[in-house]
Structure 1
Amino acid sequence: MSQYITVIYTAAIIFPFIAYLITLPILIINYRRYGSLPKWHVFLLYTFVFYMICAYFLTILPLPTRSFVAHLTTPTHNFVPFTFVTNFIKYNPFSLLHPGTWIAALKAPTVIQPAFNILLTLPFGFYLHYYFQRNWWQTILLSFGLSLFFELTQLSGLYGLYPRPYRLFDVDDLMLNTFGGFLGYWVAAGFAKLVPNRQPMASMAPTSRSVSPVRRGTALAIDWLIISIIASVVDFIINLHWVTTLVLWGILIIWLEINRQQTIGMRIVNIKMVNQTGQKPTSMQVIIRNILSYGLIGGTLAIQGRFLDMTAYAPHSQLTLISQIVLGLSFVLLLFLVDLLLETFSKKHRLFFEKWSGTDTRISN
């Protein structure tokens, strides 16, 4: 049991990093395909990812040393089906006529190991049916494929990392894992009655033309990811630092918003910039919007970061003044955060740079 707890603990440590990597693609897919971000479905998807991490780690951990594996003489494979039944008959203490043996029989490895292999893929079958809407034969095939992947991972010595397999490739595991997935399919059928219906995502699209802060933030993240990648490549060739970023900002954000009403990120999540009447904004409105948003907010962050860096080498006599400046800038950033929170939870509130520039964002047709 302690081994299983250790594996789950390891998966819990790794999960936030994987979740961070997949969040942006998840947001893009949901906004492109469904026009919304249903919280229940996102919850299911992240729990599925966590389950898959746990299942994979359970098949490979704990990792032995290479020298230990090199000296192993245990079998590497079992191609004889239903060996687990033979082992149960030979080694399990169960006796129908002696109730005292029943508890011991359930605790024996000949019961625990097959049961574990069934339980390992039972959630997989559940997710396939309830979340991914797979039918029973697709669930069987995908469960078998997952089990085969696990078994080949073990047979290959973790893809050649070890000189030989340190765990057994077992045809019984393939059968039990596949059955576990199939069992999970039927569990999902009954469980679906107790939880929110798995409605088609398209039916959950927002009826309003307004755009949530999360959706706008996704567009922003895409735009600056593109700018950062291009700037890094250019700076590697020609070291221009902030000049490259400034030029890319002008081209990939301001120019595109003026001419197309959309940056690349906005186009990906299906939103566009409009004026207060829902029409194309003027060039001056776009420029004012960008100066207020990127210039004021981004500039405040940059200046605060600069003063924070100065605390490492500034004379002691200047530290009090620097601390006061940092505190004042933090208060300004707090006001920006409050403005964002009001936008998030109030239907009537608009972000300050949108209000002052006379612009807004709307869902594209």
Structure 2
Amino acid sequence: MQTYMFPIKIAFITFPFLAFLFTFPFVIYQYRKHGYINKFRILILYSFLLYLIVTYYLVILPLPKTRDVRSLQSPDTLYYQLIPFNFIFDFIKETKISLSDPSTFKNILKERGFLQPVFNGILLTPLGVYLRYYFRKNLKETLLITFLFSLFFEITQLTALYGLYNAPYRIFDLDDLILNTFGGFIGYMIAPIFTFFLPKPSKLDKDIDLEKINVSYFRRFLAFLIDWFIIGLIPNIKDTILTEAAVVFVYFILIVYLTNGKTLGKSLLRIKIKGGNEKLYFKEVFIRYALLYYGIFGFNKLIFEVIDINRNEFFNYIIIIMLIAVVINIIIFSHVLICMFRKDKLLFYEKISNTKNVTISPK
């Protein structure tokens, strides 16, 4: 049992890091497909990610202590087992039970000949449940996907973890393919028992009105990061303040006006800027982003430029400017925190410009 607990423990340790890497593409995909983030869908998909990590680690861990695995093996070591249902013969040969003595039956729970086939049988059983319940696959699709998963694991073992070691440290076993696929079949058949009290995936978005959903600050910030990543690809953009100001004008004001509220980041996350009417006015866009980028961000950039220019000097007015900047930024930060708990969540530059972020409904 300790052999199985070690990979599971490592999976739980590494899950937060892998989940973090998974979060951004996952969030973008969810916004693109559904227009919002459903908390239950998050729970299902992250549990599925954890299951995949645990399963993979159970297949590859523990790792050998040396990459020269071949030196630890005899010359006649076989790296594959191609006889179907060989596990039955192993069970008969290895288990110490007597059909005429029921008291020996309890020993079966300690026998490798029993535990290993059972483990291989239940390894992909949860996959069958996920495939039927959430991904809505039929039986044939479930069997095919489960078989391919199992084949991937066996190839991983046969290739010595894709060439990381000079010889396989686990064998390619045809019985594993059979038992894993059978486990997926069992999972498919028992899925309704486990998911009876869960909402149907097809109805998760049934009563959602995207037009009434407030665009979260996280969604807005993610779009902001994508936009500034794209802008950062422009060469020499930060050579001068005027160059950066011109790029901001073109990208966040001119393009947003011409596209009726969209940037590349906002389009990717299916949101846009909306004014008082269906058609966004240039005045609304200009006021919004002039206050945000030329006002808030421009002010801070100018302060840092002044401090950088006078970094070798000490002037009282520099200290005063820094204190003013700190106070102004504390006020802005407090304003954002307060707005996070308001129903409309509109920041001051949005109210002044009469603009807001709205969700783009799928066509």
Q: TM-score, normalised by structure 1?
A: 0.83
- 2:68 aligned partner: 67
Q: Which amino acid aligns with 1:46?
A: Y
Q: Which amino acid aligns with 1:250?
A: F
Deviation at 1:257, TM superposition (A): 1.2
Which moves more between the two structures, 7-16 or 59-68? 7-16
- 2:98 aligned partner: 95
Q: Does 1:31 align with 2:31?
A: yes
Partner of 2:273, secondary structure, is: strand
Contact 2:129 2:190 in 1 (8 A): yes
Q: Does 1:225 align with 2:225?
A: no
Distance in 2 (CA, whole Å) between partners of 1:101 and 1:204 is 57
Q: Which amino acid aligns with 1:254?
A: I
Deviation at 1:100, TM superposition (A): 2.7
Partner of 1:272, secondary structure, is: strand
Deviation at 1:199, TM superposition (A): 2.3
- 2:291 aligned partner: 292
Q: Deviations over 1:190-220 (max 9, x none)?
A: 2221222222455354253454214433432
Distance 1:244 1:132, change over 3 A: farther
Distance 1:217 1:35, change over 3 A: same
Contact 2:129 2:188 in 1 (8 A): yes
- 1:80 aligned partner: 83
Distance in 2 (CA, whole Å) between partners of 1:115 and 1:242 is 67
- 1:53 aligned partner: 53
Distance in 2 (CA, whole Å) between partners of 1:292 and 1:61 is 55
Partner of 2:199, secondary structure, is: coil
Distance in 2 (CA, whole Å) between partners of 1:106 and 1:205 is 50
Deviation at 1:290, TM superposition (A): 1.7
Which moves more between the two structures, 191-200 or 330-339? 330-339
Q: Which amino acid aligns with 1:224?
A: W
- 2:11 aligned partner: 11
Which moves more between the two structures, 203-212 or 238-247? 238-247
Deviation at 1:270, TM superposition (A): 2.8
- 2:355 aligned partner: 359
Deviation at 1:124, TM superposition (A): 1.1
- 2:337 aligned partner: 338
Partner of 2:341, secondary structure, is: helix
Contact 1:157 1:163 in 2 (8 A): yes
RMSD, matched Cα: 3.5
Distance in 2 (CA, whole Å) between partners of 1:322 and 1:14 is 46
Distance 1:43 1:303, change over 3 A: farther
Contact 2:36 2:210 in 1 (8 A): no
Distance in 1 (CA, whole Å) between partners of 2:322 and 2:100 is 80
Q: Which amino acid aligns with 2:106?
A: I
Distance in 1 (CA, whole Å) between partners of 2:11 and 2:239 is 41
Matches within 5 A, 1:251-266: 251-261=250-260, 262-266=262-266
Percent of counterpart pairs with the same letter? 36
Distance 1:141 1:280, change over 3 A: same
Distance 1:122 1:334, change over 3 A: same
Contact 1:273 1:280 in 2 (8 A): no
Which moves more between the two structures, 114-123 or 164-173? 114-123
Distance 1:225 1:103, change over 3 A: farther
Matches within 5 A, 1:28-177: 28-64=28-64, 65-73=66-74, 74-177=77-180
Structure 1: gaps of 5 or more residues: none
Distance in 2 (CA, whole Å) between partners of 1:111 and 1:288 is 72
Which moves more between the two structures, 50-59 or 239-248? 239-248
Deviation at 1:78, TM superposition (A): 0.5
